[in-house]
Amino acid sequence: MTPFHLVYGREAVVPIEIGVESDRRQCYNKENDGRRLMELDLVSEARDKASMRLTAYRQRMCCAYNKRVIPRTFQVGDLVWKKVKPFGDIGKLEPPWEGPYQILKKTSFGTYYLSDSFGKELTRPWNATHLRPYRT
């Protein structure tokens, strides 16, 4: 099934086929109209089948993606590395992580409030994807 068939219920005719007779146009007869109307009745079924295949495909893609995801959870008091946000003159040879930082508070959305080694709290929360555990 092509997308054109799913939307319009018939196959597309290329403009060159209108000027130059193709086999499809030469073999056309009026009896095909009844068959075409019957196919139009089945278009909704074809759309439903395509929708079900698309849903199954999306589920398989989701499962394949979730297999590779490594969940990161931290507890209050854990030490972590924080990803350096590039700005200004930070070059590619600079270290990508800084720290250690301590987890002060954990929210329900996977974000954490941090404090540096001097006890100064950072102004905004950080997502777990931008944190790594600090191993001593």
Per-residue pLDDT tens for 95-108?
888 989 999 999 87
Q: Does residue 6 carry a pLDDT above 90?
A: no
Nearest-angstrom CA–CA distance, 6 and 40: 10
One of 2.30.30.140, 3.40.1710.10, 3.40.950.10, 3.40.1280.10 is the CATH number of 79-133, namely 2.30.30.140
pTM: 0.51
Task: Using alpha carbons, list the distances in angstroms from residue 59 to 45, 54, 66.
Answer: 21, 9, 10
Give the rounded distance of the alpha carbon of 96 from its chain centre: 26
Query: Are the C-beta atoms of 30 and 37 separated by less than 8 Å?
Result: no
pLDDT tens digits, residue range 11-65?
Answer: 777 766 666 666 666 777 777 777 777 888 888 888 999 999 999 999 999 999 9
Query: Are the C-beta atoms of 74 and 133 separated by less than 8 Å?
Result: yes
pLDDT of the residue at 86: 72
Structural domain boundaries of the chain?
3-68, 79-133
